[in-house]
């Protein structure tokens, strides 16, 4: 499992390294350009200084006189530079080197810069092409006539000279190495500092999650009601904390329901088992007649049937909770399904003195599983008959439309308002003694609710104590489809009544 810290740092570290490397390289290139430009300026000035030291005399003779401060720059121990002056024919006129190198000579007046190896050392070299004529000076003319009596003055013809000056690159290379080392050290340290700072920031940013993890570890069987502290949560994780708390609330509610279900299931099975064992022990204490044995066997059979109903309904409810919603059901006529459910419950209602009335339009088309819908309606009708006293009535009505529904109303004792939110839970009863006496085990309405959920339907209840209850099942409409008949299945859902009103 990859941690959030790793997900942040893994892409961030190479990106940070790349950014610092590009920045450092840019700085180094800029500084190298400046250093080399400065070296070119220095070499150019040397070449101009040498050029200024060359004079062309009348008659074409060359004269070279290097001033003292310029001469120092070309001494080996002082400046580490050299110069070469070549005449128009390319011959060396004067040089600071014993063996001047042969260098390419430019044909234009623009200075040419290059790196050359001279006497085993690398020099930055500048070569100038200079075109110069003798100075128009009266003193020079008189001096030439004195040296050459009887000869006419020569013409002032311009001459082409090539002046080359070079400066060792060792100082520039050393400066660049110094800059490179400093940049590498500085940006390396900055990279490490940035990584440490990033790790600290990420760790600090994830600290609220660590606190939530510690708080979540405190939630358990010993502290099932412990919750994450929303007041101390950062704004960015408040929604997550709130969602987790809601999930914990749902888990807690499911945990409580499971505990209650386990206790109720054990109680529902323990009571008939105790009665069965007690009856059999009484019969076995002494010899009994045929009539007594028959009565005992009938009582044991009744108890076994009741336990079978509990187990069968538990299995049915468990199977429904595992099923997927009915997505592509077949056309079902809910009106016909309801009439079948009434037919199943009619004998029990007649025996109790409860009148069953049917007020249904034909048809009420919907989509779903006809058998499951029949079981749902049968449970609702059985529940109404069970908690309606003799002389009362149970009415099954419905309506077709954009949101069709089927309602089961009774004139029973009703359900107190504080119990309405819980009557669809497993084994829940308002009056446990009266419910058990009526034959119910508290699973019928839970099964009906699960069947409604599988069909995307809504099962609601309204009730008033002393006036009766009304259960309404709203299903999805199936417009333009024919109805397929569905009949209630008498072997499922019978005797599964829900909480009797107090």
293, 332 in Cβ contact below 8 A? no
Domains 4-177 and 323-474 share a fold: no
pLDDT at 341 over 90: no
Ramachandran region of residue 389, left (φ > 0), alpha (ψ -120 to 50) or beta?
beta
Rounded Cα–Cα distance for residues 379 and 441 (Å): 12
Is the model's pLDDT at 202 over the cut of 50? yes
Per-residue pLDDT at 432 exceeds 60: no
Band of pLDDT at residue 188, cut at 50, 70 and 90? very high
CATH number for 4-177: choose from 3.30.70, 3.30.450, 3.40.390, 1.10.287.
3.30.450
pLDDT tens across 353-381, in order?
999 999 988 788 988 888 889 889 998 99
Of the candidates 452, 467, 474, the residue with the CA atom closest to the CA atom of residue 409:
467
* First-last CA distance in the chain: 55
61: left (phi over 0), alpha (psi -120 to 50) or beta: beta
Distance CA 147, CA 153 (A): 11
What is the rounded CA–CA span in Å between residue 424 and residue 411? 20
Hunting for tokens 């959920």 — which residue is that? 453
Choice among 16-20, 191-195, 294-298 with the minimum mean pLDDT = 294-298
Q: pLDDT tier at 76 (50, 70, 90 boundaries)?
A: low
Burial 257-291 (b: 16+ CB within 10 A, else e): eeeebeebbeebbeebeeebeebeeebeeeeeeee
Reading the block at residue 46, the tokens are: 């040397």
Structure tokens at 92: 């060396």
Per-residue pLDDT tens over the stretch 25-39: 999 999 999 999 999
Mean pLDDT throughout 213-219?
76
Three-state SS for 171-202 is HHHHHHHHHHHHHHHHHHHHHHHHHHHHHHHH
Residue 496 has pLDDT above 80, yes or no: no
Q: How confident is the model at residue 326 (pLDDT cuts 50, 70, 90)?
A: low
Q: To which residue do tokens 């044995």 refer?
A: 293
Name the nearest CA neighbour of 406 among 370, 368, 361: 361
Torsional class of 439: left (φ above 0), alpha (ψ -120 to 50), beta (otherwise)? left
Mean pLDDT computed over 84-108: 85
Average pLDDT over residues 205-219: 77
CATH class of 235-320: mainly alpha
Which H or E run includes 130? strand 121-132
Structure confidence at residue 477 (pLDDT): 82
Residue 333 has which token pair?
């006529």
Highest mean pLDDT: which range of 139-153, 306-320, 468-482: 468-482
Q: What is the pLDDT of residues 448-472, one digit of tens each?
A: 888 888 888 899 999 999 899 999 9
* Residue 272: pLDDT over 80: no
Model pLDDT, residue 298:
79
pLDDT above 60 (res 280):
yes
CB atoms near residue 355 (< 10 Å): 14
Q: Which residues of 391-427 are buried (b: 16+ CB within 10 A; e: fewer)?
A: ebbbbbbbebeeebbbbbbbbbbbbeeebbeebbbbb
Tell me, what DSSP letter sits at residue 223? B
Phi-psi region of 58 (alpha: psi -120 to 50; beta: other; left: phi over 0): beta
Q: Which residue has the higher pLDDT, 146 or 394?
A: 394
The answer to whether 465 touches 414, Cβ cutoff 8 Å, is yes
- What is the residue extent of each domain of the chain? 4-177, 235-320, 323-474
Q: Please report the pLDDT score of residue 431 as a whole number.
A: 61
How sure is the predictor about 78, in pLDDT bands with cuts at 50, 70 and 90? low
Mean pLDDT of the chain: 80
Checking if the pLDDT of 492 tops 80, the result is no
Decide if 53 contacts 64 (C-beta within 8 A): yes
**Which tokens is 386 given?**
């069970």
What is the Cα–Cα distance from 464 to 296, expressed in whole angstroms? 42
Higher-confidence residue: 335 or 289?
A: 335
Compute how many other C-beta atoms are within 10 angstroms of the C-beta atom of residue 314.
Answer: 20
Q: Which pLDDT tens digit goes with each residue over 241-271?
A: 888 888 888 888 777 767 766 766 666 667 6
Work out the percent of the chain whose per-residue pLDDT is above 90: 24
User: For residues 14 and 67, which has the higher predicted lDDT (pLDDT)?
Assistant: 14
Higher pLDDT among residues 399 and 314, named by residue: 399
Answer yes or no: CATH 3.30.565.10 is held by domain 323-474. yes
Residue 353 backbone zone (phi > 0: left; psi -120 to 50: alpha; other: beta): left
Higher per-residue confidence, 147 vs 187: 187
């Amino acid at each position: 499992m990859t941690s959030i810290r790793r997900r942040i740092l893994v892409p961030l570290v190479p990106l940070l390294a790349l950014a610092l490397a590009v920045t450092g390289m840019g700085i180094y290139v800029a500084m190298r350009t400046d250093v080399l430009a400065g070296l070119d300026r220095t070499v150019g000035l040397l070449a101009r200084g040498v050029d200024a030291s060359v004079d062309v005399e009348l008659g074409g003779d060359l004269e070279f006189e290097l001033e003292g401060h310029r001469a120092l720059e070309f001494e080996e121990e002082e400046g580490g530079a050299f110069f070469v002056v070549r005449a128009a024919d390319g011959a060396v006129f004067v040089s600071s080197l014993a063996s001047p190198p042969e260098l390419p000579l430019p044909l234009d007046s623009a200075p040419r810069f290059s790196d050359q190896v001279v006497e085993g050392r690398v020099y930055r070299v500048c070569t100038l092409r200079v075109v110069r004529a003798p100075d128009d000076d009266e003193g020079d003319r008189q001096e030439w006539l004195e040296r050459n009596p009887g000869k006419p003055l020569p013409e002032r013809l311009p001459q082409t000279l090539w002046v080359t000056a070079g400066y060792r690159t060792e100082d520039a290379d050393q400066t660049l190495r110094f800059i490179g080392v400093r940049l590498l050290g500085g940006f390396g340290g900055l990279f490490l500092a940035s990584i440490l700072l990033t790790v600290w920031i990420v760790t600090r940013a994830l600290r609220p999650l660590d606190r939530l993890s510690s708080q979540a570890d405190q939630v358990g069987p010993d502290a099932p009601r412990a919750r994450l502290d929303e007041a101390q949560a950062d704004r960015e994780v408040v929604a997550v904390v709130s969602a987790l708390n809601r999930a914990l609330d749902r888990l807690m509610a499911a945990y409580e329901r499971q505990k209650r279900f386990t206790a109720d299931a054990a109680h529902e099975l323990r009571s008939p088992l105790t009665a069965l064992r007690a009856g059999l022990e009484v019969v076995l204490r002494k010899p009994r007649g045929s009539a007594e044995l028959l009565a005992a066997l009938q009582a044991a059979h009744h108890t076994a049937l009741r336990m079978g109903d509990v187990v069968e309904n538990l299995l049915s409810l468990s199977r429904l909770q595992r099923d997927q919603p009915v997505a592509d059901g077949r056309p079902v006529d809910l009106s016909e399904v309801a009439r079948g459910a009434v037919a199943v419950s009619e004998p029990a209602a007649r025996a109790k003195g409860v009148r069953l009335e049917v007020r249904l339009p034909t048809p009420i088309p919907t989509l779903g599983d006809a058998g499951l819908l029949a079981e749902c309606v049968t449970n609702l009708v059985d529940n109404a008959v069970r908690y309606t006293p003799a002389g009362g009535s149970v009415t099954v009505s419905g309506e077709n439309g954009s949101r069709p529904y089927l309602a089961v109303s009774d004139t029973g004792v009703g359900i107190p308002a504080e119990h309405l939110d819980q009557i669809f839970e497993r084994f829940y009863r308002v009056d446990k003694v009266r419910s058990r006496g009526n034959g119910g085990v508290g699973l019928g309405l839970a099964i009906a609710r699960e069947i409604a959920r599988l069909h995307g339907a809504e099962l609601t209840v309204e009730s008033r104590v002393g006036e009766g209850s009304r259960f309404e099942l709203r299903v999805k409409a199936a417009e333009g489809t024919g109805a397929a008949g569905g009949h209630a299945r008498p072997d499922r859902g019978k005797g599964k009544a829900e909480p009797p009103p107090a």
